[in-house]
């Protein structure tokens, strides 16, 4: 085999235009997202099936050997082997070292701007003039029609590095420059674990477009890399949570995402074809997980074809897919090739050939829903069926004239608030599974297949619900194992015992010596991992002693969005997490718990007492006792949702904003100070930011 000819990006720039032909061997989708100017797209799969038609095409491209062929892939890996194969067929061929990514790095470096590249000022001018109708006016129309931006807002413009979010950032800059009322923006980039090349690409584009980005880091890519079920969905959800958290830290009240018109209509079809429901991606949503925060989508009316046209006209090259699943792919990951969204894109393209108005009609369909012509719909958590008032409409009778029995069988179906993410794909806004009762059926089926289970039972919302369903399904083959430890309040153990006695469930108490776990008292950031692993090993031992096959625990889908090192222990020991397996969220679990009439349905979330300590502060039995007494006092005073954080001998009290006035009443305040000092605290403080879960995680480096 002859030596493969390799060509660097720098060497390519010195070649005379017209002396060579560029061939991009990536898939059509990647090519459409960005390519080297003048390149021809012939995919790697087409080369694998080399036929007479392709041979003729290659001859034409090379002009019977008069022109050199330069092929490139994503990272310069697949092109090496392919260049060798083409070379053996008699063509003069070179492979581009580093591929499209190397070319991208060179051509987006602000220190290597070519004479063909437009200045930032020219790019901004194009938005106001050349693309005024299709981009700028659509952007401002969405803001007006859906009331997305108000005076005094501070908006976190979330930038992924792709074409959509980068354009959105420029549009917000223009809006702020020309708007009649004042608002503020912060341009936020989260690095979930990008490769150095992709990180540099984002930074270079931000510099070229004069976007002052704030970059913060997370380990999301690493966290979801080994997840087999719906990693993209989990990644998107976790990214959303991190963005909300950082935005709130920066004083923002809104986050802006770059979903566009095509995303909206694709979501409508995906909901119908794969989610069995009619719904869409909303232009704005209130968040219930982050109080006072709102999500807006100002690109809602802008078509993707116009975004691409703006990008290409200005010779801009942005980040495509940068996740760990695809960065080592040859042409494109199978995941992306077979994704439901890509299937929908292809379907819309086919429909467009027959009816050029199809996209607009899909969009308008969710603006013109006629409730009189649908079998059923949901509103405010209640499912309405057309038979509910069918006879009323026909006879003119009033509901009270009918037999009440006709209505009592139709129960409310809990509706998920889209801002919680429950039941929704964070990237698309569509239902990724069935309704909550279908998830419950799947949970029962899953538990039935396990045969016998020991539930790690803490008496919290999740483990109580899981234990109840497991016992209903498996009977005596479902038992509870509760850890007795100094890091858990005594009342939690009492509540656990009372529940098991009332339900007739066998319960075993595991005496855990948590403070003797190596490294735990030093309170490292993986404290939860050390503790949970020992607890679960103890529960496993009890389960095996009693012939129980599996240990299960109650983590849910919301637990994936925060820093929870204890989840690693669950994974390492092979503990089952049924609620996560069937994709149940906290609010769904609360709704179902209410239907089951469980006392925990509205119980506030309550983490172990060790979570009240700042990382690195030594955990002692005495300090744990101080925290437990302080929180019990607050609960006795009616503050059910609260935390007492400990910083040395300083107590930092967190309660919701709604309780601020009550806790500052003279009698309450005086008693709290007096009692907490009796418990051992030297200082008693009140956190003006209010109650929030995981506030000690705010001290971790970002």
Q: What architecture (CATH level 2) is domain 6-107?
A: 3-Layer(aba) Sandwich (3.40)
DSSP string, 615-665: TTSPP-HHHHHHHHHHHHHHHHTT--S-EEEEETTEEEEE--GGGHHHHTS
Q: Is the pLDDT of residue 329 over 50?
A: no
Distance between CA atoms of residues 629 and 633, nearest Å: 6
Q: What is the mean pLDDT of residues 252-256?
A: 96
Q: What is the mean pLDDT of residues 67-93?
A: 85
CB 537 within 8 A of CB 509: no
Among 55-69, 123-137, 417-431, 639-653, the range scoring the smallest mean pLDDT is 417-431
Q: Which sequence spans correspond to the domains of the chain?
A: 6-107, 120-265+280-323, 436-595, 609-699
DSSP string, 216-261: EE--HHHHHTT--SSHHHHHHHHHHHHHHHHHHHTT-SEEE----H
**What is the per-residue pLDDT for 701?**
57
**What is the per-residue pLDDT for 49?**
79
Question: 257-279: per-residue pLDDT in tens?
Answer: 999 999 999 999 988 998 888 88
CB 79 within 8 A of CB 96: yes
**What is the per-residue pLDDT for 323?**
55
Distance between CA atoms of residues 607 and 609, nearest Å: 7
**What is the per-residue pLDDT for 83?**
83
Among 20-29, 132-141, 211-220, 332-341, the range scoring the smallest mean pLDDT is 332-341
- Which superfamily is assigned to 436-595 in CATH? HUPs (3.40.50.620)
**Contacts of 65 by beta carbon, 8 Å cutoff, 6+ apart:** 90, 91, 92
φ, ψ at 277 (rounded to 5°)? -160, 160
Q: Is the domain 609-699 a CATH 3.30.70 member?
A: yes
**What is the per-residue pLDDT for 693?**
75
Domains 120-265+280-323 and 609-699 belong to one CATH topology: no
Q: What is the mean pLDDT of residues 536-540?
A: 93
Helices (H), 417-489: 436-450, 461-474
Q: At what angle do helices 566-573 and 527-545 cross, to 10 degrees?
A: 30
**What is the per-residue pLDDT for 606?**
79
Burial of 65 (0-12, 13-18, 19+ CB in 10 A): exposed
**What is the per-residue pLDDT for 14?**
84
**What is the per-residue pLDDT for 176?**
92
**What is the per-residue pLDDT for 416?**
39
Question: Given CA atoms 593, 595, 596, 602 in this order, what sign does their dihedral have?
Answer: positive
Q: CA of 530: how far to CAs of 484, 570, 628, 629, 664, in Å?
A: 16, 11, 21, 25, 38
Question: 596-605: per-residue pLDDT in tens?
Answer: 999 999 888 8
Return the closest-CA partner of residue 188 out of 110, 251, 95: 251
Nearest 5°: the CA angle 292, 244, 207 is: 125
pTM of full prediction above 0.75: no
Nearest 5°: the CA angle 167, 169, 175 is: 105
Going edge to edge, which strands form the sheet with 643-647? 643-647, 650-654, 683-686
Q: What is the mean pLDDT of residues 668-683?
A: 95
DSSP string, 156-188: EEEE-SSHHHHHHHHHHHHHHHH-SS--EEEEE
Going edge to edge, which strands form the sheet with 284-286? 213-217, 184-191, 154-159, 254-256, 294-296, 284-286
Distance between CA atoms of residues 348 and 356, nearest Å: 10
Q: What is the mean pLDDT of residues 615-636?
A: 93
Distance between CA atoms of residues 675 and 629, nearest Å: 9
Beta strands in 447-558 (DSSP E): 453-456, 478-484, 507-511, 550-552
Q: At what angle do helices 304-313 and 163-178 cross, to 10 degrees?
A: 80
Task: Kindly compute the dihedral angle of the four CA atoms of residues 337, 340, 346, 349, in this order, to the nearest 10 degrees.
Answer: -150
Percentage above 90 pLDDT, the chain: 43
Distance between CA atoms of residues 307 and 309, nearest Å: 5
Among 259-263, 346-350, 353-357, 466-470, the range scoring the smallest mean pLDDT is 353-357
Among 240-249, 315-324, 472-481, the range scoring the smallest mean pLDDT is 315-324
Quote the DSSP letter at residue 3.
P
Count of all residues that appear for the chain in the document:
702
Q: Is the pLDDT of residue 317 over 90?
A: no
**Which residues are paired to 72 by β-bridges?**
24
Q: What architecture (CATH level 2) is domain 120-265+280-323?
A: 3-Layer(aba) Sandwich (3.40)
Quote the DSSP letter at residue 5.
P
**What is the per-residue pLDDT for 222?**
66
Q: What is the mean pLDDT of residues 614-630?
A: 92
**What is the per-residue pLDDT for 654?**
94
CB 316 within 8 A of CB 326: no
Among 263-267, 437-441, 668-672, the range scoring the smallest mean pLDDT is 437-441
Question: 446-493: per-residue pLDDT in tens?
Answer: 999 899 999 999 999 999 999 999 999 999 999 999 999 888 888 889
Average pLDDT, the chain: 83
**What is the per-residue pLDDT for 393?**
59
């Amino acid at each position: 085999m002859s030596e493969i000819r390799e060509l660097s990006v720098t060497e390519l720039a010195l070649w005379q235009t017209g002396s060579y032909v560029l061939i991009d061997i990536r898939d059509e989708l990647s090519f459409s997202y960005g390519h080297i100017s003048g390149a021809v797209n012939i995919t790697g799969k087409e080369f694998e099936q080399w036929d007479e038609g392709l041979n003729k095409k290659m001859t034409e491209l090379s002009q019977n050997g008069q022109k050199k062929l330069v092929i490139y892939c994503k990272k310069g890996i697949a092109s090496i082997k392919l260049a060798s194969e083409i070379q053996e067929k008699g063509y003069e061929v070179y492979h581009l070292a580093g591929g499209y990514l190397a070319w991208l790095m060179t051509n987006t470096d602000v220190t290597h701007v070519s004479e063909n590249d437009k200045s930032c000022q020219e790019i901004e001018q194009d938005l106001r003039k050349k693309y005024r109708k299709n981009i700028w006016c659509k952007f401002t129309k969405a803001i007006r029609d859906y009331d997305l931006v108000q005076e005094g807002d501070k908006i976190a413009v979330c930038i992924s590095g792709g074409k959509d979010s980068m354009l959105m950032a420029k549009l917000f800059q223009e809006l702020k420059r020309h708007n009649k009322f004042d608002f503020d923006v912060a341009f936020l980039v989260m690095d979930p674990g990008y490769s150095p090349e992709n990180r540099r690409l984002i930074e270079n584009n931000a510099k070229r477009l004069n976007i002052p980005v704030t970059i913060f880091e997370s380990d999301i890519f690493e966290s979801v890399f080994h997840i087999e079920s719906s990693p993209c969905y989990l990644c998107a959800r976790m990214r959303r949570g991190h963005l909300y958290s950082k935005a709130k830290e920066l004083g923002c009240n809104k986050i802006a995402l770059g979903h566009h018109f095509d995303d909206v209509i694709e979501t409508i079809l995906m909901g119908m074809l794969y989610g069995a429901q009619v719904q869409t991606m909303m232009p704005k949503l209130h968040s219930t997980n982050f109080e006072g925060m709102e999500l807006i989508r100002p690109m809602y009316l802008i078509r993707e074809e116009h975004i691409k046209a703006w990008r290409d006209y200005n010779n801009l090259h942005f980040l495509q897919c940068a996740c760990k699943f695809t960065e080592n792919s040859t042409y494109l990951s199978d995941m992306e090739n077979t994704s439901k969204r890509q299937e929908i894109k292809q379907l819309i393209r086919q429909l467009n050939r027959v009816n050029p108005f199809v996209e607009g009609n899909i969009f308008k369909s969710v603006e013109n829903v006629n409730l009189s012509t649908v079998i059923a719909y949901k509103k405010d958590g209640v499912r309405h069926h057309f038979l509910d008032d069918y006879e009323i409409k026909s006879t003119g009778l009033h509901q009270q004239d009918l037999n009440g029995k006709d209505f009592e069988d139709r129960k409310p179906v809990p509706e998920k608030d889209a801002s919680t993410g429950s039941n929704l794909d964070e990237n698309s806004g569509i239902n990724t599974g069935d309704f909550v009762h279908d998830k419950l059926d799947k949970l029962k089926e899953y538990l039935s297949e396990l045969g016998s289970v020991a539930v790690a039972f803490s008496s919290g919302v999740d483990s109580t619900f899981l234990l109840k369903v497991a016992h209903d399904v498996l009977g005596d083959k479902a038992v509870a194992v509760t850890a007795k430890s100094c890091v858990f309040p005594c009342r939690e153990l009492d509540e656990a015992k009372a529940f098991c006695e009332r339900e007739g469930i066998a319960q075993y108490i595991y005496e855990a010596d948590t403070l003797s776990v190596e490294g735990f008292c030093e309170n490292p950031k993986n404290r939860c991992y050390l503790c949970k692993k020992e607890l679960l090993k103890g529960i496993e031992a009890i389960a095996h002693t009693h012939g129980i096959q599996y240990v299960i625990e109650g983590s849910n889908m919301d637990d994936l969005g925060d820093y929870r090192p204890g989840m690693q222990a669950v994974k390492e020991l092979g503990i089952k997490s049924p609620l996560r397996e069937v994709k149940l969220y906290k609010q769904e679990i609360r709704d179902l718990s209410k239907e089951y009439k469980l006392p925990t349905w509205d119980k506030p979330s309550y983490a172990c007492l060790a979570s009240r300590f700042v990382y690195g502060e030594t955990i002692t039995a005495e300090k744990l006792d101080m925290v437990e007494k302080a929180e019990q006092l607050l609960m006795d005073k009616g503050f059910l949702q609260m935390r007492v954080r400990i910083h040395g001998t300083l107590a930092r009290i967190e309660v919701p904003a709604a309780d601020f006035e009550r806790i500052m009443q003279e009698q309450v305040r005086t008693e709290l100070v007096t009692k907490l000092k009796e418990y051992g605290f030297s200082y008693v403080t009140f956190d003006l930011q209010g109650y929030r879960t995981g506030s000690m995680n705010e001290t971790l480096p970002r």
